[in-house]
Structures are given as C-alpha cells and as structure tokens.
Amino acid sequence: MRYLIISDIHANLTAFETVLADAGQLGVDYDFVWCLGDVVGYGPDPNECVELLRTLPHLCLAGNHDWAALGRLDIRTFNADARKAVDWTRKTLTEENLGYLEALPITFVLEDFTLAHGSPREPVWEYILDPLIASLNFPHFQTDFCLVGHTHTPIIFRVINDKGESEPVTPNYNERTAIGNERHREIVQLKEADTRQIINPGSIGQPRDSDPRAAYAMLDTELLTWEFRRIPYDIDAVQDRMRQADLPDRLVTRLSHGW
C-alpha cells in the first residue's frame, strides 16, 4: 500500500489543496490517507479542511487543537494567540464537523505502524522535540515504526543502541522532481536503518522549521520507503483570510517565515 501521510493542517485550506494536488492522483499515486491530527486550529478554514478531508479515504487522529475546539482541553495552558484562535474556531465549526472531530481516535496501530498525534506515551499533548523525549517513548509502542505530528517539524528519531538511546535525522530536501518545479523531496529507505524509528512528516498548514513550504510525506509499506516532501503554496491568500477573520497578527506573520 502507498499512503499519503499528512499532519497539522491547522485550517489552512490553500496549503491542504496544494499538497493534494502535488501528491498526485488517488488510486494511482497513493491508496489511502493517514492524518496525524490537528485538522483545525490557528487557520481560517476549519470547516473547509474537515470537509475536504472527509472526501478522501482516510484515517484521522485527534490532535490537541481538535480537542481544544471541542472543549476537551483547558485552553488556559495555551498562549493568548492560540486561545483566541480556539475561541474563533469553536464558534465557526458546524455541528456536523464538530461531530466528526468528536469521533476521532487518539491512537491507532496499522500493520507495523503506530500512529499518534503527539507521542505514543501521551498521544494528544506530548511534543517529541529531542532525542531524550524520543528515547523515553520507544517503550510505549510495540511496532517498529511510530508516526507522530504535533511539533510541525519533519524528523526521524532512530534507536542507536541497546540502551534505547536515539539520534535525530532531519531531511535534506535537495532533489528537484522536474525543471522549474519547486517541490523538493528526500526518500528514506526505512529498512536500511534496521532499527525502530519515530517519524514526523512535518506540518501542512503551519511549518515551524524555518521553511514556510507545506510539508507532508508518502509511505510505501511494501518497499518500506518514506518520502519527505515540501511544496510552496499561496501564503498571501491564507493570510488575507486570516486578517478578514480577525485572527491574531502573530499567527498571520508566522506563516511567511515557517516558525
């Protein structure tokens, strides 16, 4: 099977549509979609993103912003800009789309892959930002691979010794797919590492690795290949809609810089 792996759309319809166009044709270039959570939050298009996702054959997990929109999290722990965006999202989502978010699981195991939004240890909230946190999470799943989102940063953490210590591997987007095409990619042979791995595809709607392009991945479970991908999208259009919705300026600005 060939899977389109997406995460942290964050109500950014323009980025989501650009990724789907770049990923290719359903049934030809990929068979199914795994979404690692945070369909909504921060961005101006929560209903549109939920509805577009629902048109695809997919499995989606709940993220912390999905839960926040449902009132399942105490948003006093969020910063002021995030709280304002959560309040706006709650008021904007339709009852039907709230019902979709309410039914999302927080973790799933498929084939040799465990899926979570934050981490296998704390699926909704924990950030796996460094090798220490990654190492502490390996005992909390049984499969060879765990896919996570939440940090908005594409990365792989690999076990490197019998103690369970891990090292980070970041993608080097250096392969152009065609002359004039600004999409970059890197293909990783997962089986060549011969070790357990935690893998993050990065964020579609709000990257935080100083690269504003939408990030996603393609997974081939037969060949055991993981392809990191980046694609530019019309950030200005998204920012215009955010301003029209009176979303916080900092959330608008960060899209241009990828932080």
- Domain extents in the chain: 2-106+176-196+205-257
User: In terms of pLDDT, which residue wins out, 199 or 77?
Assistant: 199
Confidence of residue 20 (pLDDT cuts 50, 70, 90): very high
What is the reported pTM? 0.95
State mean pLDDT over 72-97. 94
The percent of residues in the chain predicted with pLDDT above 70, rounded, is 96
| Selection from 211, 191, 189, 190 nearest residue 202 by Cα | 211
Least confident of 49-63, 142-156, 181-195: 181-195
Q: Is the dihedral of CA 56, 233, 25, 108 positive or negative?
A: negative
Q: What is the Cα–Cα distance from 36 to 61, expressed in whole angstroms?
A: 5
Confidence of residue 105 (pLDDT cuts 50, 70, 90): very high
| pLDDT 10s digits, 177-199 | 554 555 689 999 998 878 999 99
Residues 6+ apart with CB under 8 A from 37: 7, 8, 60, 61, 62, 63, 64, 66, 104, 117, 124, 149, 150
Amino acid at 211: D
pLDDT of residue 172: 86
pLDDT of residue 176: 53
State mean pLDDT over 2-20. 98
pLDDT of residue 72: 95
**What's the whole-number average pLDDT of the chain?**
95
State mean pLDDT over 26-54. 97
| pLDDT 10s digits, 150-179 | 999 999 999 999 988 999 999 987 655 554
pLDDT of residue 194: 86
Query: Which of 3.60.20.10, 1.10.3720.10, 3.30.70.2190, 3.60.21.10 would CATH assign to domain 2-106+176-196+205-257?
Result: 3.60.21.10
The percent of residues in the chain predicted with pLDDT above 90, rounded, is 90
